[in-house]
Amino acid sequence: MDFQGIREDDAWALVGAAARAARRAGRTLLDGPGTMAAARAKAGTHAHDVVTEADAAAEALIRAELTGACPGSVVVGEEGGAGEAGDGPGRDVRWYVDPIDGTHNFSRGLPLFCVSIGVTVRGEPVGGCVYEPARDETYTAAGGRLLRGGRPVPPAPARAVPMVLTDLPRAGAVPDPGELALFTELLAAADVRRIGSAALALAYVATGRADMAVTPDAYAWDCAAGRVLVTASGGTFAAVPAEPSVRRPGAFAAWRPGLDGLGASVVAALEGFPFLQGWLEDDNSLA
C-alpha cells in the first residue's frame, strides 16, 4: 500500500482489514456465555458507563488482527488506549476502535450494540467500518462510497417527520438547561429516540434508517467510523469542538441531506453547552 498519497483502493484495503476484524470480534460476542454479561462501571465515570470482560477480549482480538494486517500501525482503543507506532509501512495509520459501542445494551441482553473501527492516515479520516452483530450487518465507507453488506446503499425516501437518535440529556448527570432546551426543540421537530450506541446511530443515519444523530458526550473512537459513513452518504458530520478527542468527551451532530437548518440549530446549541467549554486547542485532535 502507498500511504504517502492514499489511494482509494488502499483506503478500501484498510477498511477491508477493519471489517474482517470487526466481524470476527462481533461474532465472538454472540458466541459468549449467554445474553447477560457481568458489567461494572468504569473508574471515574457514572454508573451508566460500563465495561465487561468481553470489551477487553474483543479489543485484544481486534488489535492483533489490525496490527497483523498493517504492520507499524497504531491502534487507539477505548479499553486499552494507544499502542506504540512501529517501523512498518503502516506507521502513518491509526485505527480508532470501540470493541463494543453500546456496552450497557450488550450487558443487558439488548441487541443494539456494534463494533466500530475508524481509520486515519496522518490524522485524516479515510475509512470506517461498523459491524452490527445482532443483524450480521456490516457498514463500510471509503473514498466517498458507502456500502452495507458489500453493496451500495439505495437512497432513502424523504419523510415528513425526521427521526432523531440522541443521548440527550446526558446519562448520569443533572441535565444542563441548555440540554433540556435542545431536547425540547428536537421533540417539537422530530421523532426522537434513544438507542444507547453513538456508532450505531451514525450508521443508521448514513443508511437512512434515521435522519439525525446528536450525542453530547462522545470520544474519538465512538464516531471515527460513523463520521466517514455519514459523509460518504452525502450527509453532514459536525463535532463540537472541531475534532473528537481521545482525552475527554465532546459532542457531535450528524444529519442527512435536507436537514441543514435543523442541523445548524443543533450545532449552535451544542456550542453553548457549558460542559464543553474550556477545551485546550491541542486537545481537539483525532490524530
**Exposure of 259 by Cβ count < 10 A (0-12 exposed, 13-18 middle, 19+ buried)?**
buried
CATH of domain 163-281: 3.40.190.80
Annotated ligand binding at 282? The verdict is: no
Domain boundaries, the chain: 2-152, 163-281
Query: Identical fold at 2-152 and 163-281?
Result: no
Q: Which amino acid is at 2?
A: D
At the top level of CATH, the class of 2-152 is alpha beta
Annotated ligand binding at 78? The verdict is: yes
Give Cα separations from 89 to 1, 67, 104, 277 (angstroms): 8, 11, 37, 38
Per-residue pLDDT of the chain (287 residues; tens, 9 = 90+): 544 468 999 999 999 999 999 999 999 999 875 444 554 444 445 445 567 889 899 999 999 999 999 999 999 998 776 766 667 778 899 999 999 999 999 999 999 999 999 999 999 999 999 999 999 999 999 999 999 999 999 988 889 999 999 999 988 778 889 999 999 999 999 999 999 999 999 999 999 999 999 999 999 999 999 999 999 999 999 999 888 888 788 999 999 999 999 999 999 999 999 888 765 344 444 44
CA–CA gap between residue 116 and residue 95 (Å, rounded):
10
Q: Please identify which residue in the block is written with the cell numbers 434513544.
A: 194
Q: What is the pTM of this model?
A: 0.90
Annotated ligand binding at 100? The verdict is: yes
